[in-house]
Amino acid sequence: MLWLLAAAGCEYTCGEEAIDVEFVPESLRTKIGCDTTLRLTFSPIEATDSKHLITIDAPIVRSLVDDLNATQTVGRAVPSHQPESVRDVSQRLFDEYTVDGGSVHLGGCTLEDRPILRVTYVDRSIGKARLCHHFINLTGEPIEESLVERLGLKQLVPLSRSIQVTDDQCVRWRHVGETAVEGLQQSAEVEVVLTTVVWCKYAEGKLAFVIKDATTSIAFSDWAQLFVDGSTKPPALACPSFPQGSCHLAATDDGEIVPIEAIATCSESGKRVIASDLETCNATGAKALPEFFSSCPASGVRVLRKVLVTCETCQQSVSPTSCELSQCSACRSLANVSKDDPRMARLLGEYPRLDRWSRWKLSETATAYVLVANSLVKRLLVVVDKNDLKLLRLAKGSQFTKKWTEALELDRSADLR
Ligand SMILES: [Zn+2]
């Protein structure tokens, strides 16, 4: 009612039991049959004239509505409380973020008036006349009740600014409103009284984050009022390492701004990097950059290079987790091999004198063959590179001891070629 009076150009004060209209525009006075002032009461006992009692069907209410429909096609209103400036929204957004060693500012923001339609209708289907409001978007879809509450659509004031709308547009909106209510309740007892376009502020923009030389930005958009009352949180920054996102941001040493939860420190270099860029050492559990890692040739696991140990048999650098009694898993699992084995054939091709031995046992790592040749009394250990069959170790032993003695340079040709 107050909105209707204000929209018609009246000035008033509203008490608990009555509205005192202190000024009625001249054009309205004859239509509603009153003087320059008017008292409207909510109580039938106090009303001295049926015109001055506020009910849905009161002649004065009808006159005001008819006048508005005739002159403006649709009513125009705004929520009584909503953000009016970008600043109202931006400060609220900034407060949500913590930027370690940096700052957040607006990288552009617009506050646009977007229309929502309020269709006012009288429902007489339950006997007593009831005045209802139905809120819809421009395509006639209903606005959720919770959004109606949060946008303050139940406390409207007349639009004081001018927003350019064509007459055609107003007619279309009125039609959308009437159709929506018809779809809601098809009854002869439902009468659409008025469609009002409510202009709500919609915020759209980008937040820019700066930490030293690093920058990044996030786009945001929603009803401005929802950002201000906190029911819409500004978007969190996400990255593949922390897809759920966070509003607490920090920069890596390489100058990338990410959620702080996505940052970890390399145990070797002390560098702050994206956590997913770090590898975990299979032996110690430490997390470091891949450049500090090696693959164990015996077991294939990745370990920090500094924790590698030397296998006493093949003398390769292997993970401590694959070593037992100073022997790697390959050297512990030598298996009998015949000349038909393609690996053995390769070895005999390169080192034909190995053929003089009666039995061989072979094993391999990712990079080397480990071969032990046996005779009745003696043993020979041959470790060669798998790629080029280059000799890595040649040692001699006997069947009576596990010890190996390095072969002299002289023995190399005698034993192998
Ligand atoms: Zn070994």
Q: How crowded is residue 141: how many other Cβ atoms within 10 Å of its Cβ?
A: 9
Tell me the CA–centroid distance for residue 354 and ligand 1, in Å: 20
- pLDDT tens digits, residue range 127-182? 777 778 899 999 999 999 999 999 999 888 888 788 888 888 888 998 999 898 88
CA of 259 to the centre of ligand 1 (A): 44
Q: Do residues 237 and 256 touch, judged by C-beta distance below 8 A?
A: no
Q: What is the mean pLDDT of the chain?
A: 88
Asked if pLDDT for residue 50 goes beyond 60, the answer is no
Rounded distance from Cα 390 to ligand 1 centre (Å): 17
As a whole number, mean pLDDT of residues 103-111 equals 92
Say which residues have a Cβ less than 8 Å from residue 236's Cβ, sequence separation at least 6: 244, 245, 246, 247, 259
Three-state DSSP class for residue 23: strand
Query: Residue 57, Cβ neighbours under 10 Å: how many?
Result: 11
Å from CA of 367 to ligand 1 middle: 11
Backbone angles phi, psi at 15, to 5 degrees: -105, -170
Among 86-90, 180-184, 185-189, 344-348, which is the least confidently predicted range? 185-189
For residue 137, which of 171, 176, 111, 166 has the smallest C-alpha distance? 176
CA of 311 to the centre of ligand 1 (A): 5
Helices (H), 313-375: 329-332, 342-350
State in Å: Cα 191 to ligand 1 middle: 92
Domain-wise residue ranges, the chain: 2-71, 86-204, 334-416
Q: What confidence score (pLDDT) does residue 48 get?
A: 60
For the four alpha carbons of 154, 155, 159 and 164, in that order, the dihedral sign comes to negative
Give the pLDDT confidence of 309-359 residue by residue, as tens digits. 999 999 999 999 999 999 999 999 999 999 899 999 999 999 998 999 989
Sequence-distant (≥ 6) Cβ neighbours of residue 299 within 8 angstroms = 318, 319, 321, 322, 328, 329
β-strand partners of 204: 110, 221
**pLDDT computed for residue 301 by the predictor:** 96
Q: What is the structure's pLDDT at 67?
A: 74
Helix ranges (H only) for 99-166 are 145-150
Can you say how many angstroms the Cα of residue 261 is from the centroid of all Cα atoms in its chain? 14
328 CA distance to ligand 1 centroid (A)? Answer: 4
CA of 329 relative to ligand 1 center, distance in Å: 7
Q: Which amino acid is at 389?
A: L
How far apart are the CA of 330 and the centre of ligand 1, in A? 6
Show the CA angle centred on residue 250, arms to residues 246 and 256, nearest 5°.
Answer: 105
What radius of gyration, in Å, describes the C-alpha atoms of the chain? 43
- CA 239 from centroid of its chain's CA atoms: 8
C-alpha 267 – ligand 1 centre gap (Å): 28
Query: What is the distance in A from the centroid of ligand 1 to the CA of 281?
Result: 20
Distance (Å, rounded) from C-alpha 54 to C-alpha 60?
A: 8
